[in-house]
Each structure stands twice: as structure tokens, then as C-alpha cells.
A and B are shown apart, each in its own frame.
Chain A
Amino acid sequence: TQLLEQSPQFLSIQEGENLTVYCNSSSVFSSLQWYRQEPGEGPVLLVTVVTGGEVKKLKRLTFQFGDARKDSSLHITAAQPGDTGLYLCAEVGAGSYQLTFGKGTKLSVIP
């Protein structure tokens, strides 16, 4: 089973600051998904990255897939309180029906 390491585990920042969270593996990802989970709710998909070096943008969120496909990052510009939540990365195994999730980064954006 591939292990996904997410860092940092917790992050508390002021509104308007920028931040980056990371997802790393010792093995090559087939593809990677990022989810955001708000308290009391299930995770919601933000993006899927497939190609090494790929960059995707979703408003103030920028997702990057490492060239070697062993790491990914999520950068948030000018964080807002609505960005508060648990950010999870998930590896979609090649030829597998399963998704493996990291432990997540819990983000708090203070107004």
C-alpha cells in the first residue's frame, strides 16, 4: 500500500496570507486527487492531476504535480475564512479500484 504523507498537519493563518500544503510519496503516483472537507461533511473533490509537471488553477487555488509524479502541492493565494477545512490528497492507483488518502492538512483561516 502506497503511503501518502501530507504536511503540515495543521496550519493556522490570518486572512489574506498565502500558504502551500504538500503531498508526498515514496512511489510514483498514477494520478492524484485533492479534496476539501468541511466539518460535519464528506470530502469534496477539488482537482485531479495526471501528468507530471501539470499545473491546474481553481480561482485562488493552484495545484501542481511534480515532474517525477511523486509529489504534489496546493497553493492558496490570499486565504479567506471560507478556505478553512481539511485538505486531503488521494492517490488513484493504476489498475486499482481503490483510492488511498493521506491524513490531511487542517487549515484554519482567521478573519
Chain B
Amino acid sequence: NAGVTQTPKFRILKIGQSMTLQCTQDMNHNYMYWYRQDPGMGLKLIYYSVGAGITDKGEVPNGYNVSRSTTEDFPLRLELAAPSQTSVYFCASRKGPTNEKLFFGSGTQLSVL
């Protein structure tokens, strides 16, 4: 099993550009999450999904959009990139909603210049 796969690993954007961060998992997990990690700030939840066709906002959703058309894929869209979106982005998934283990991808390092 590949687990949670994120692409790309690194990306540099110019202010105002758009891009999509890809995330796919092969574990048939219903619950998927997008976090961003800034230095010294831990992980902050951007969006999450509890199943195909269902998404909801997390703590810091402004400037981002998501979709969940299949169980496997949960892409994160950045529209009009801003320097404040420079961060490391992690996608994660888990089987159930409570004490289940959260599986993380290896992250996408994004710089907006």
C-alpha cells in the first residue's frame, strides 16, 4: 500500500497565481484532512471531508477550496496565491471519526513570492 500520496513535493508560486495540491489515498478511508504547518505553529486544519461529496471548513479555510468527488482523492485548490500561504501542507486520512490513527502524506512545501 502506498498510503497517502501528495504531489508536488515542492512548488514556488508568484503572487496571484493558482494551483492545486493533489492528495490521494489507497486505504479506502472515509475521512480526509488538509493541514498547514508554519514554523513553530503546529498543524492547523484547513478543510476536511467525511466522505465523497461532503466537505467542511476547518480553522483556517480562507483562500482555499476543496472537492471530494471520489473516496480516494481530496485536492486542495489555492486561488490567487498570497505570501501568507507560504507553508508546508499535509494531507491526512483515517478510517473512522474517533480514536483512529491519522495517516499523513509527506507534505508539499509551498512558497509564494
Contact = CB atoms under 8 A, between A and B. Distances in A.
Interface residues of A, number: 25
Given A42-B92, A103-B41, A97 B102 contact: no
Contacts of A45: 101-102
A98 B106 contact: no
B92 A104 contact: no
A45 B59 CA distance: 22
Contacts, number: 57
Contact of A9 (B40, B102, B106): B40
Nearest to A43: B104
Interface string A68-111: 00000000000000000000101010001111111110000000
Contact of B42 (A41, A97, A101): A101
Interface in A49-81: 50
Interface of A: 1, 9, 31, 33, 35, 40-45, 48, 50, 88, 90, 92, 96-104
